[in-house]
A = this chain, B = another copy of it.
Amino acid sequence: MTDQPSEGPSQPAGEPADFTRVRRLPELQSTDVADLHDVLDSALVAHVGLVMDGRPFVLPMAYARDGDRVLLHGSTGSRLFLALRDGAEVCFSVTVLDGLVLARSAFESSMGYRSAMVFGSCVPVEGEARLRAFERLTERLLPGRWADVRQPNAKELAATAMLELPLSSWSVKISSDDPADSPEDLHTDYWAGTVPLLRMWGEPVPAEDLKAGVPIPDYIAKWRHGGA
């Protein structure tokens, strides 16, 4: 299969450093910041790469885009999270798999996907801005919930490290095309096309210890399908 999401990073907008220059399938690249926002707003979990003791680590992390930054949070009990807090260089990667692309040849079969990489270092969110960041994260992951949840107290805020990563150096690739079969394969009788991958929220499941009579909140029914 060709044209899977592994083809490497693209030219970031705003920072044409050589290490992110497009080398593979540059025609899939987008430099439109609206596409970056679309990818980041279509998933809930990012894979954050960093180097520690010379080794690569990739952490799955919940995140929220907030304007031209992404917000991340974690526990100060996590060594890797502390490295993020202390400014380790990161590759923040989000991939949305939209479907499978069946070409007549195994070689040309591929995936429909949208992927983003953001390069840079995180900065701690401090002071009054922390509660606002907590709100933004909660509302992004659980829309409508902030007004219907016990908000964090001072102790909980202190136990949560909140980080922001600016969206200044990034690359986006979008692959949404039909299969690209060789001309000599077009006459074959193999089916060709795409099979979309759909995501949706299932029926809410109440906690076993839920107080009797508390109904499922209305806002959950308005959630968009989630990403991975």
Contact = CB atoms under 8 A, between A and B. Distances in A.
Chain copies in the assembled complex: 2
Contact of A54 (B23, B51, B96): B51
A78 B99 CA distance: 23
A29 interface: no
Contacts of A174: none
A95 B190 contact: no
A148 B105 CA distance: 9
B202 A198 contact: yes
Interface in A112-126: 113, 115, 117, 119
A16 interface: no
A148 B186 CA distance: 14
Given A100-B141, A191-B210, A196-B203, A151 B60 contact: no
Interface string A64-96: 000000001111011111000000011111011
Interface in A140-165: 141-142, 145-146, 148-153, 156, 159-160
A22 to B, nearest CB: 11
Contacts of A166: none
24 contacts: A2-B160, A5-B45, A6-B59, A6-B72, A6-B74, A7-B74, A8-B81, A9-B57, A24-B75, A43-B228, A47-B93, A49-B49, A55-B119, A56-B90, A57-B117, A60-B95, A60-B113, A102-B142, A104-B149, A106-B152, A191-B215, A193-B205, A195-B223, A198-B202
Chain A to chain B: the 8 pairs with minimum beta-carbon distance, closest first: A228-B228, A47-B47, A196-B202, A5-B60, A49-B58, A58-B93, A49-B56, A6-B61
